[in-house]
Structure 1
Amino acid sequence: MTTAPSLDSLQQGLRNRRQVLGDAWVEQSVSNANALNVEFQRLITSYAWDSIWSRPGLDRRTRRIMVLATTAAMGRWEEFELHIRTGLMANPQQADAAPLDLETIKEVLLQTAVYAGVPAGNTGMAITLKVLRELGREPEKSSFFPAP
């Protein structure tokens, strides 16, 4: 027998999830609920998006950065891409949306490469560049060799 999450927890989790991932992503997930996955959707909404993302100990941007480092280290590239995309698309004026900038992503991936391995950093860079191109935000060219 499983215990169903409370309605309050589901509602708060959905609010958090919408703020961080955007309405379109959440609507797609919720509208695809079925007899197989509905309990899983409720679980992650209540457990991850309310119990964790509502905690006061870390701000949402820090939580998103941790998600990026963890998912890259574990090779969970679909979740990494989701948080890169929604972080880049988030309004920089809305802290609760956990917006990301290129400098932050670069630092996360450099540190990930050292602690989780160069292949993780390399794949993270490739996925980030793909998403940036899709968003029409390709980074400007830079010389490989530093200026003297």
Structure 2
Amino acid sequence: MGEMRAHSERYRQGILTRRAVLGDPHVDRAQSSTTDFDRPFQELITEAAWGHVWSRPGWTKRERSLVTIAVLAALGHDEEVAMHVRATANTGATREDIGEALLHVAIYAGVPAANRAIRIAKEVFEQMDAEKAA
């Protein structure tokens, strides 16, 4: 966290929100694998996505989580869908919430997009359940 002193307040808020949503292990992995090549990108998403959007008042992390999953599913961003489904352990979105969001994806973005996201969500749930049981 020592690197935060050199960044803007928006970045500092973003890293706190990013950690709250994705968890310290995920953010620590992302930061430890950051190179000079992708450092500007990591700073951009931390400040813009996490500091500007995810940190705004008005919507809960649960609500933002569901919208994010639906948009990512609609766009076919599978790795990001999986990451944000896993993050629901921290945002308060339930499996039922995710199912409802993906029903909307089926109607408004297409059955194939929803079908793929449902498969991904089920895989993530299985992994989460196995980790919890271990």
Task: Tell me the TM-score normalised to structure 2 length.
Answer: 0.87
- For 1:72 and 1:112, locate their aligned partners in 2 and report how far apart those are by CA, in whole Å: 7
Structure 2, unaligned runs of 5 or more: 1-5
Structure 1, unaligned runs of 5 or more: 91-97, 138-148
Q: Does 1:51 align with 2:52?
A: yes
Deviations 1:59-99 (A, max 9, x none): 21111111011000100111111000121x32xxxxxxx12
Once superposed, what is the RMSD of the aligned Cα atoms? 1.4
- For 2:54 and 2:87, locate their aligned partners in 1 and report how far apart those are by CA, in whole Å: 16
Q: Does 1:28 align with 2:21?
A: no
After the TM superposition, which residues 79-98 of structure 1 pair with which residues of structure 2 at under 5 Å, given as runs?
A: 79-87=80-88, 89-90=89-90, 98=91
Partner AA of 1:125 in structure 2: I
- For 2:102 and 2:115, locate their aligned partners in 1 and report how far apart those are by CA, in whole Å: 8
Name the structure, 1 or 2, with higher relative contact order (CA <8 Å, separation 6+).
2
Offset of residue 7 of structure 1: 2.8
> After TM superposition, where is structure 1 displaced by more than 4 Å over at least 4 residues in a row?
none
- Taking every aligned residue pair, what percent have the same amino acid on both sides? 38
Q: Which residue of 1 aligns with 2:3?
A: none
- Structure (1 or 2) with the larger CA radius of gyration: 1
SS at 2:56's partner residue?
A: coil
Q: Which residue of 2 aligns with 1:119?
A: 112
Q: Which has the higher helix share?
A: 2
Residues 63 and 93 of structure 2 are in contact (CA less than 8 Å); yes or no, is this contact kept in structure 1? no
- For 1:34 and 1:58, locate their aligned partners in 2 and report how far apart those are by CA, in whole Å: 33
Residues 17 and 50 of structure 2 are in contact (CA less than 8 Å); yes or no, is this contact kept in structure 1? yes
Offset of residue 112 of structure 1: 0.7
- For 1:6 and 1:23, locate their aligned partners in 2 and report how far apart those are by CA, in whole Å: 19
Partner AA of 1:31 in structure 2: S
After the TM superposition, which residues 67-82 of structure 1 pair with which residues of structure 2 at under 5 Å, given as runs?
A: 67-82=68-83
Partner AA of 1:105 in structure 2: I
Aligned length: 125
Residues 82 and 121 of structure 2 are in contact (CA less than 8 Å); yes or no, is this contact kept in structure 1? yes
Offset of residue 57 of structure 1: 2.8
Q: Does 1:107 align with 2:104?
A: no
- For 1:61 and 1:101, locate their aligned partners in 2 and report how far apart those are by CA, in whole Å: 9
Q: Which residue of 2 aligns with 1:61?
A: 62
Partner AA of 1:114 in structure 2: I
SS at 2:129's partner residue?
A: coil
Deviations 1:24-49 (A, max 9, x none): 00001111111100111111101110
